[in-house]
């Protein structure tokens, strides 16, 4: 077959020993196209299938009555020895499927045949320090460009037709522990992204770059005391110096917004979650440690923080707050409200007023939350003080058993919202951890935890649990239990279906109202990517990445041992209904 390989600034086609220049691209998706992408059934233009990230498609050709006939259209391998976790969400446009792969690769496949059009491999240095596998969660498309982030903290824009590098910008210093894995978000002609590396004492930042040039427009640190940038000049300080951090701790405070964000055109706000404070040992950093473990609402044009909500003040369990914040509308006590929801790693499902960040509700969506008994009406956790790991002296402090584990009631894997049922579908896990604190000092490029841990399953028969949650009440409407942890994203459709994958290799479809399993197909490796759907040539397609990996086999303790038999992989699977 014709195989395109991106080589530096040149993309060439190799066919039968003849090398020719690839065709140049034409016009592509605009800002308006991205903003309306949730209702564009002929393409998948954004991570989250719309700027709000609801992951709902109105397509209904594949439904509860027809899904049992779903069959593979093709599978496309990422090839080579670079397997590991494949957490990408596909982007689909103009007959091409774009997926990122492990080790910061980007592929373009023909959406009808699966034939590879081109491949770009980032030239990663040996010293990269990703905390949680060499994953990448997807790309962004705009005009003639496809854009993604790399493990050495670069943002790269490629010509979407050729794989040729348009621009390549260093966003941070990988030698200090910075990395990047999330799919960028494009708003108002700006590529907006967050960094990773909270386990290394870095400073989290949300940044925006000009989509055409890659030049930095603004930078917003997530830790109080650090100063932002706007148009090449210092702008405002994040928060107030030493308001919730002592001494110089704000210089190594973590708070990485490593999952990326969502955007609501109605409020003109970006919603980015922030990660754990550094170090994990909370006794070394008294105070709330703003703005870690929070959702930040950010002006997309200036980078100014408009409001924040902190889910776990003074986080001592690595619960993080980075999970996606999904805008939705609902009626509360007879009043129509613009709301947002987040299923937090700390085990609570939150609903906030997305216009101002005011707390509406918090309900547990897992069976055990030992660290807190609930939340006050003001939105502060009611801590169980005995469940905070003890302060260390010269050796480790007292160990506690805490649930959820630091891998979370829900980790990175995105939930979905159905505009049909009004429910959220949350991929959750039931596990706890023995956790203790240890002495630690900051050293550039070294892990900055100050804690030890062992993760354990709570129940012998299951860990993963896909749950339907009614955001109006916090009630769990149904639960599907899976023996291995769930680590992939969710898709919901106008056909009354919910799709998600399992480490055992299956892509599965469930009835959105009842939770009944209606269909499954084994892809040969664990599914930890996010499924999408679109319409092409009058037919509805479903696509998902297959390839086991991510944080579970690396950090999962006893859980990792239970799933060590699962084979790695690297492939894109595409499904449709057979023609009658």
Residues designated catalytic: 318
- Retrieve residue 338's tokens: 């613009």
Give dist(CA 513, CA 505) in Å, integer: 24
DSSP state letters, 297-336 = EE-TTT--EEEEEESSTT-SS---S-S--EEEEEEETTEE
- Retrieve residue 151's tokens: 């493990």
Give dist(CA 360, CA 479) in Å, integer: 24
* Radius of gyration, CA atoms only, the chain: 22
Q: Are strands 372-375 and 424-429 parallel, antiparallel or unpaired?
A: unpaired
In which element (H, E) is residue 34 found?
A: helix 31-35
Q: Where are the beta strands (DSSP E) in 311-450?
A: 326-332, 335-343, 348-353, 359-364, 372-375, 381-383, 400-402, 416-417, 424-429, 431-437
- Retrieve residue 363's tokens: 């309900």
Dihedral over alpha carbons 118, 534, 272, 153 (to 10 degrees): -10
Q: What angle do CA 146, 150, 154 make, to 5 degrees?
A: 85
Phi-psi region of 316 (alpha: psi -120 to 50; beta: other; left: phi over 0): alpha
Q: Quick check: helix, strand or coil at residue 226?
A: coil
Q: Quick check: helix, strand or coil at residue 375?
A: strand
- Retrieve residue 103's tokens: 């080790």
Say how many C-beta atoms besides its own lie within 10 A of residue 318's C-beta. Answer: 28
- Retrieve residue 114's tokens: 């699966």
């Amino acid at each position: 077959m014709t195989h395109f390989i991106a080589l530096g600034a040149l993309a060439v086609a190799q066919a039968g020993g003849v090398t020719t220049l690839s065709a140049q691209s034409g016009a592509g998706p605009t800002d308006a196209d991205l903003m309306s992408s949730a209702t564009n059934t002929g393409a998948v233009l954004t991570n989250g299938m719309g700027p709000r990230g609801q992951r709902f498609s109105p397509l209904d050709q594949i439904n509860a009555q027809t899904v049992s006939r779903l069959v593979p259209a093709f599978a496309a391998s990422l090839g080579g020895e670079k397997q590991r976790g494949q957490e990408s969400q596909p982007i689909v446009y103009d007959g091409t499927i774009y997926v990122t792969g492990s080790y910061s690769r980007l592929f373009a496949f023909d959406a009808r045949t699966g034939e590879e059009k081109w491949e770009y491999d980032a030239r990663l240095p040996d010293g990269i320090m990703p905390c949680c596998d060499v994953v990448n969660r997807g790309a962004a498309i705009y005009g003639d460009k496809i854009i993604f982030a790399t493990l050495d903290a670069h943002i790269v824009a490629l010509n979407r037709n050729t794989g040729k590098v348009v621009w390549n910008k260093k966003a941070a210093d990988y030698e200090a522990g910075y990395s990047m894995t999330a799919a960028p978000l494009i708003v108002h002609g700006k590529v907006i992204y967050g960094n990773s590396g909270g386990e290394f004492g870095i400073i989290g930042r949300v940044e925006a770059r000009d989509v055409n040039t890659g030049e930095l427009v603004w930078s917003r640190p997530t830790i109080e005391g650090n100063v932002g940038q706007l148009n090449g000049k210092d702008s405002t300080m994040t928060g107030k110096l030493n308001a919730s951090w002592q001494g110089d701790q704000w210089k190594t405070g973590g708070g990485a917004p490593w999952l990326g964000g969502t955007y609501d055109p109605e409020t003109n706000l970006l919603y980015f979650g922030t990660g754990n404070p550094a170090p994990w040992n909370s006794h070394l950093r008294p105070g709330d440690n703003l703005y870690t473990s929070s959702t930040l609402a950010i002006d997309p044009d200036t980078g100014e923080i408009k409001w924040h909500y902190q889910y776990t003040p003074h986080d001592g369990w690595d619960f993080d707050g980075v999970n996606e914040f999904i805008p939705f509308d609902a009626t509360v006590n007879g009043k129509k409200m613009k709301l947002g929801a987040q299923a937090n790693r700390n085990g609570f499902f939150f609903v906030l007023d997305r216009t101002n960040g005011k707390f509406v509700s918090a309900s547990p969506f897992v069976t055990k939350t030992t660290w807190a008994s609930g939340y006050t009406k003001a939105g502060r956790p009611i801590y169980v003080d005995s469940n905070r790991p003890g302060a260390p002296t010269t050796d480790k402090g007292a160990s506690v058993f805490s649930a959820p584990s630091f891998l979370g009631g829900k980790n990175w894997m995105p939930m979905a919202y159905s505009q049909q049922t009004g429910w959220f579908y949350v991929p959750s896990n039931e596990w706890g951890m023995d956790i203790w604190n240890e002495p630690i000092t900051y050293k550039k490029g070294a892990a900055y935890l100050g804690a030890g841990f062992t993760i354990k399953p709570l129940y012998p028969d299951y860990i993963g649990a896909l749950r339907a949650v009614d955001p109006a009440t916090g009630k769990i409407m149904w639960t599907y239990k899976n023996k291995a942890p769930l680590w992939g994203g969710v898709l919901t459709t106008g056909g009354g279906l919910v799709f998600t994958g399992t480490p055992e290799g299956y892509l599965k479809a469930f009835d959105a109202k009842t939770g009944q399993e209606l269909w499954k197909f084994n892809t040969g490796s664990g599914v930890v990517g996010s499924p999408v759907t679109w319409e092409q040539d009058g037919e509805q397609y479903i696509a998902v990445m297959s390839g086991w990996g991510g944080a579970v086999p690396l950090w999962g303790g006893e859980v990792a041992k239970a799933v060590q038999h699962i084979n790695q992989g690297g492939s894109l699977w595409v499904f449709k209904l057979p023609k009658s």
